[in-house]
Structure 1
Amino acid sequence: MKRHAMAACLLMAALSVCAQTREQDSLRVVNLQEVEVISTRATSSTPVAFTNIGKEQLKKQNFGQDLPYLLSMTPSAITTSDAGAGVGYTTLRVRGTDGTRINVTANGIPINDAESHTVFWVNLPDFASSVKDMQVQRGAGTSTNGAGAFGASINMQTGDFSMEPYAEFNGSYGSFNTHKETVKVGTGLINNHWSFDARLSNISTDGYIDRASVSLNSYYLQGGYYNDNTSIKLITFAGKERTYHAWNYASKEEMERYGRRYNSCGFMYATDREGNVYGKEYYKDDNGEKHYLTNEGGALHFYNDQTDNYTQKNYQLLLNHNFTSQWNLNIGLHYTKGDGYYQEYKGERSLAEYGMSPFEYNGGKVEVSDLIRKKAMDNWFGGGIFSVSYKADRLHASLGGALNRYDGDHFGRVLWVKNYIGHLNPDHDYYRNNATKNDGNIYLKANYELVSGLSAYLDLQYRHINYRINGLNDKYNWTAATPGMQKLDIDEDFDFFNPKAGLSWQIDRNHRLYGSFSVAHKEPTRNNYTDGYFTEHPKAERLFDYELGYTFANSWLHAGANFYYMDYKDQLVLTGELNEIGEAMASNVPDSYRMGIELM
Structure 2
Amino acid sequence: MKNLFLFLALLVFSVSVNSQENQVQQDSTKTEKLDEVLLSATRAKDKTPVAFTNITKVELESVNLGQDLPILLNQLPSVVTTSDAGAGVGYTGIRVRGSDATRVNVTINGIPYNDAESQGTFWVNMPDFVSSVEDIQLQRGVGTSTNGSGAFGASLNIKTLKPSSEGYASTTNAIGSFGTRKHNISFGSGLKNNFYAEGRLSNIQSDGYIDRARADLNSYYLEAGFLNKRTAVKAIVFGGKEETYQSWYGTPEAVVNNDRDEIKAFIDRNFPSESDTQNLLNSGRRYNFYTYDNEVDNYQQTHYQLHVSHQFNTNLSANLSGNFTRGKGYFEQYKDDEELGDYFPNSSNASDEGDVIRRRWLDNDFYALVYSFNYKKDALNLYLGGGYNIYKGDHFGEVIWDSFPSLIPIRSNYYFSYGEKSDYNTYIKAEYDISDNLFALLDLQYRRVDYKSVGTSSDLLDINVKETFDFFNPKLGLTYKIDNYSTVYGSLAIANREPNRDDLTKNPIRPKSERLYDFEFGYKLKTSNLYVIANLYYMDYKDQLVLTGDLDDVGDPIRENVANSYRAGIELQAGYKVSEQIRIDANATFSQNKIKEFDYVVYDTQYDTNTFESVSYEPVITQFKDTDISFSPNVIFGNTLTYAPIKNGSVALLSKYVGKQYLDNTSSNRKSIDAYFVNDLNLSYKIQPKWIKEIAFNVLVNNLFDSEYVSNGYTYSYFYRPLNSNDAAITENFYYPQATINFLAGITLKF
Flag whether TM exceeds 0.5 (same fold): yes
Cα offset, 1:423, TM superposition: 2.5
> 1:274 — aligned with what?
none
Native 8 Å contact 1:359 1:367 kept in 2: no
Greater mean alpha carbon deviation, residues 496-505 or residues 26-35: 26-35
> 1:528 — aligned with what?
503
> 2:305 — aligned with what?
316
Native 8 Å contact 1:305 1:343 kept in 2: yes
> 2:100 — aligned with what?
98
Asked if 1:445 corresponds to 2:416, the answer is no
Name which of 370, 392, 404 aligns with 1:385: 370
Native 8 Å contact 2:25 2:228 kept in 1: no
Instruction: Output the CA distance in 1 between the equivalents of 2:191 and 2:562.
Output: 56
**Residue 324 of structure 1 aligns to which amino acid in structure 2?**
N
Name which of 277, 293, 296 aligns with 1:307: 296
Cα offset, 1:430, TM superposition: 0.9
Cα offset, 1:392, TM superposition: 2.6
Instruction: Output the CA distance in 1 between the equivalents of 2:319 and 2:219.
Output: 27
**Residue 528 of structure 1 aligns to which amino acid in structure 2?**
D
Q: What does residue range 136-535 of structure 1 map to in structure 2 within 5 Å?
A: 136-191=138-193, 193-256=194-257, 278=274, 280-281=276-277, 302-355=291-344, 367-418=352-403, 420-475=404-459, 485-532=460-507, 535=508
Native 8 Å contact 2:442 2:475 kept in 1: yes
Instruction: Output the CA distance in 1 between the equivalents of 2:165 and 2:81.
Output: 36
> 1:118 — aligned with what?
120
With over 3 angstroms needed to count, the CA separation of the structure-2 counterparts of 1:349 and 1:455, relative to structure 1, is: same
TM-score (norm 1): 0.85
**Residue 537 of structure 2 aligns to which amino acid in structure 1?**
Y
Cα offset, 1:434, TM superposition: 0.3
Native 8 Å contact 1:406 1:436 kept in 2: yes
Provide the aligned length of Structure 1 versus Structure 2.
Answer: 538
Cα offset, 1:334, TM superposition: 0.5
Cα offset, 1:345, TM superposition: 1.5
Tell me the secondary structure at the aligned position of residue 427 of structure 2.
strand
Instruction: Output the CA distance in 1 between the equivalents of 2:26 and 2:227.
Output: 15
Cα offset, 1:327, TM superposition: 1.1
Q: What does residue range 15-26 of structure 1 map to in structure 2 within 5 Å?
A: none
TM-score (norm 2): 0.68
Q: Deviations over 1:240-292 (max 9, x none)?
A: 00000000110122234599xx9xxxxxxx99xxxxx8475279xxxxxxx96
With over 3 angstroms needed to count, the CA separation of the structure-2 counterparts of 1:309 and 1:441, relative to structure 1, is: same
**Residue 322 of structure 1 aligns to which amino acid in structure 2?**
Q
**Residue 352 of structure 1 aligns to which amino acid in structure 2?**
G
Unaligned runs of 5+ in 2: 1-21, 264-270, 574-751
Native 8 Å contact 1:139 1:149 kept in 2: yes
With over 3 angstroms needed to count, the CA separation of the structure-2 counterparts of 1:358 and 1:175, relative to structure 1, is: same
Instruction: Output the CA distance in 2 between the equivalents of 1:595 and 1:211.
Output: 40
With over 3 angstroms needed to count, the CA separation of the structure-2 counterparts of 1:140 and 1:356, relative to structure 1, is: same
| Aligned-residue CA RMSD (Å) | 2.6
Tell me the secondary structure at the aligned position of residue 281 of structure 1.
helix
With over 3 angstroms needed to count, the CA separation of the structure-2 counterparts of 1:229 and 1:416, relative to structure 1, is: same
Cα offset, 1:323, TM superposition: 0.8
Cα offset, 1:60, TM superposition: 2.2
Greater mean alpha carbon deviation, residues 574-583 or residues 126-135: 574-583
Cα offset, 1:577, TM superposition: 2.1
With over 3 angstroms needed to count, the CA separation of the structure-2 counterparts of 1:65 and 1:366, relative to structure 1, is: same
Tell me the secondary structure at the aligned position of residue 302 of structure 1.
coil
Cα offset, 1:231, TM superposition: 0.6
Q: Deviations over 1:325-345 (max 9, x none)?
A: 221101001100000000112
Q: Deviations over 1:387-435 (max 9, x none)?
A: 00122331111100001101000000122233x2242222321110000
Instruction: Output the CA distance in 2 between the equivalents of 1:490 and 1:47.
Output: 39
Instruction: Output the CA distance in 2 between the equivalents of 1:567 and 1:162.
Output: 44
**Residue 247 of structure 2 aligns to which amino acid in structure 1?**
A
Cα offset, 1:366, TM superposition: 5.1
Cα offset, 1:29, TM superposition: 7.1
> 2:78 — aligned with what?
76
Cα offset, 1:503, TM superposition: 0.7
Instruction: Output the CA distance in 2 between the equivalents of 1:501 and 1:321.
Output: 28
With over 3 angstroms needed to count, the CA separation of the structure-2 counterparts of 1:72 and 1:28, relative to structure 1, is: closer
Instruction: Output the CA distance in 1 between the equivalents of 2:334 and 2:200.
Output: 37
Q: Deviations over 1:479-522 (max 9, x none)?
A: xxxxxx21111000010000000111121121111110000000
Cα offset, 1:28, TM superposition: 6.0
Instruction: Output the CA distance in 1 between the equivalents of 2:25 and 2:553.
Output: 70
Instruction: Output the CA distance in 1 between the equivalents of 2:353 and 2:138.
Output: 49
**Residue 252 of structure 1 aligns to which amino acid in structure 2?**
E
Instruction: Output the CA distance in 2 between the equivalents of 1:168 and 1:240.
Output: 22
Native 8 Å contact 1:281 1:294 kept in 2: no
With over 3 angstroms needed to count, the CA separation of the structure-2 counterparts of 1:404 and 1:303, relative to structure 1, is: same
Native 8 Å contact 2:110 2:147 kept in 1: yes
With over 3 angstroms needed to count, the CA separation of the structure-2 counterparts of 1:161 and 1:282, relative to structure 1, is: closer
Unaligned runs of 5+ in 1: 1-22, 263-269, 272-276, 284-290, 476-484
With over 3 angstroms needed to count, the CA separation of the structure-2 counterparts of 1:26 and 1:232, relative to structure 1, is: closer
